[in-house]
Each structure stands twice: as C-alpha cells, then as structure tokens.
C-alpha cells in the first residue's frame, strides 16, 4: 500500500500550534506552581503530607510521559493524543478551580478535608496527570510534523518553531510566577485557579480550530517496543548454550571494510 503524500502547511499551521502551546503552558504552570500553598492553606494539609501528594503527582506525570509516548507512537498518533490530553488537562483545572470556589468541596477553618473532598481533589490531579502524559511527549514533535524536513524551508521552519516554543515557555513561566501567583495568594484562590483553566480552554480552542490545516502523521510504532522485545528475547534465551565458534557472534563478514571490537572471554 502506497503511503499518502503529506501536504505540509508549515507556517499556516503555526498560529494554531503556537497558540495551543502558549496557552497550555500558561494554564499548566499557573496551576501547578503554587499547589503546595493551596494544599496547606485551603485543604489544611500538613507540609509533609502536601509535599508527599505533590511528589506523587509530579512523579506520576513524569512516568506517564513514557506511557503517553508509547501509546502515541504505536496506536493513536500525536494529534489524537494531544487532543485528548488537552481536554483532560482542561477538565482537571476546572475541578481544581471548583474545589476553591465551592465551599462544600474544601474544608472549613482548620478542620481536615473529608474523604469526599479529597476524592474530588485527587480526581482533578488524575486528569492533570493524563493531560501531562499526553502533552509532554507530543507537543514538540507535533509542531515539527508541520514542516517538511527534506527541504531547506522546512528545516528553517522547524528551527523557527523550536525558538518560538521555548520563547512561549519562558513567557509562561514569567507570567505564572508573577501575575497568576499574585492573584492566587493575595486576591482569591477561586479566581487564581479559574484563570489557568480559562487559558487552558483557549489552548484547546486553538488546537481544534486548526484541525483541517494540520499534517497528521500516522503512528508507526514506538522504539520502546523494540527495546522491550530485545530484553524479553534475551531473558527467554538466557539458558541457551553458546556455540564455540566466536565468528558466529559477528554478523559482519571477516573481510569487510567495517570494523568491530574482537570477541573476547574477558572484560
């Protein structure tokens, strides 16, 4: 079966890709940066407990990135993965904003949070984990997919996209660490968490509006699959008797111009 020829839109897709990236970073960083203060002041958690919760949250996000990359490369593709992950992040931010805005969803005064309140809070964290697991491994690659890497203009476009990506990341950090944190800490937590949720909604809007312009690359398999298969086969055949002829370990013909380290029984 012949592969469908890709029609690269390049620069035409960039307003939607960069818009999606910029607002996603503003929403994500604006939500996550001040969570320790939120858990200790609004949910009345002790510092140690709040730190443990955030460590589990961040660690799960980092580990989930591997799973998200595998699913994207093997089954769903970057477009679908990014779309689902963006919506998941938005819903997670909405839930966190609701925990601050609705009195019944957070404890009062110095009382500890109820199981129901914690369940609602952790549901928001779970959606944020799903979002991070899909967005982190796909956003840069999806932007690069919009350019033809085999042409000079495509290569310049990819370089320009990377520059804009890291500019938006730095800009999002600056805004989140100043304006959004100020609103959360000194104005109102409900408003301070609603702002990142609104920004994430704009991120989703930018992403889906550009659907008809994007180059959507089909999944072709993950390198993680080959790595796992290699370890699995090596473990399965660990008891095989090795042949006495050392040349059998070398797939390169002996008279080839290619070189390889000689086989040895010693380190």
Q: How far apart are the first and last CA of the chain?
A: 48
SS3 content of the chain, % helix, strand, coil (to 5): 70, 0, 30
Instruction: Give the residue among 192, 159, 163 at the shortest CA–CA distance from 175.
Output: 192
CA distances (Å), origin 174, targets 79, 162, 264 = 28, 19, 56
Q: Domain boundaries in the chain? A: 16-212
Dist CA 159 CA 150 (whole Å): 13
Q: Kindly report, residue by residue over 190-238, the tens digit of the pLDDT.
A: 999 999 999 999 999 999 999 999 988 888 877 777 777 778 888 888 7
Length of the chain: 267
Q: Kindly report, residue by residue over 25-67, the tens digit of the pLDDT.
A: 999 999 999 999 999 999 999 999 999 999 999 999 999 999 9
Predicted confidence at residue 2, as pLDDT, reads 46
Calculate ∠ Cα 130-134-137, nearest 5°: 140
Q: Kindly report, residue by residue over 17-27, the tens digit of the pLDDT.
A: 999 999 999 99
**Fold classified for 16-212:** Growth Hormone; Chain: A; (1.20.1250)
Tell me how crowded residue 102 is: count the other CB atoms within 10 A of its CB.
11
**Where does the chain show beta strands of DSSP type E?**
none
Decide if 95 contacts 124 (C-beta within 8 A): yes
What does DSSP assign to residue 265? S
Scan for tokens 């490369």, then name that residue.
73
Dist CA 177 CA 162 (whole Å): 23
pTM for this entry: 0.82
Decide if 79 contacts 16 (C-beta within 8 A): no
Q: Confidence class of residue 6 from pLDDT cuts 50, 70 and 90?
A: low
Decide if 73 contacts 59 (C-beta within 8 A): no
Average pLDDT, the chain: 87
Exposure of 67 by Cβ count < 10 A (0-12 exposed, 13-18 middle, 19+ buried)?
middle
């Amino acid at each position: 079966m012949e592969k469908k020829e890709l029609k690269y839109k390049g620069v035409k897709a960039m307003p939607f890709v960069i818009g999606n990236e910029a607002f996603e970073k503003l929403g994500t960083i604006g939500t996550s940066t001040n969570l320790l203060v939120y858990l200790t002041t609004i949910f009345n958690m002790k510092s140690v407990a709040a730190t443990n919760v955030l460590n589990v949250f961040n660690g799960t996000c980092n580990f989930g990135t591997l799973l998200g990359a595998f699913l994207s490369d093997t089954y769903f593709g970057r477009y679908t993965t990014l779309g689902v992950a963006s919506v998941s992040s938005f819903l997670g931010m909405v839930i966190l904003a609701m925990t601050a805005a609705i009195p019944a969803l957070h404890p009062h005064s110095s009382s500890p949070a109820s199981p129901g309140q914690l369940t609602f809070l952790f549901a928001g964290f779970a959606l944020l984990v799903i979002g991070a697991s899909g967005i982190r491994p796909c956003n840069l690659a999806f932007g690069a997919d919009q350019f033809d890497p085999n042409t000079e203009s495509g290569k310049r476009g990819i370089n320009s996209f990377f520059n804009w990506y890291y500019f938006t990341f730095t800009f999002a950090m600056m805004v989140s660490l100043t304006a959004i944190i100020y609103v959360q800490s000194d104005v109102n937590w409900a408003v301070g968490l609603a702002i990142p949720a609104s920004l994430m909604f704009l991120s989703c809007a930018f992403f889906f509006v550009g659907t008809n312009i994007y180059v959507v690359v089909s999944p072709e398999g993950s390198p993680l699959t080959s790595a796992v298969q290699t370890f699995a086969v090596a473990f399965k055949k660990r008891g095989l008797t090795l042949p006495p002829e050392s040349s059998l370990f070398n797939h390169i013909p002996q008279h080839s111009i290619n070189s390889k380290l000689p086989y040895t029984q010693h380190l």
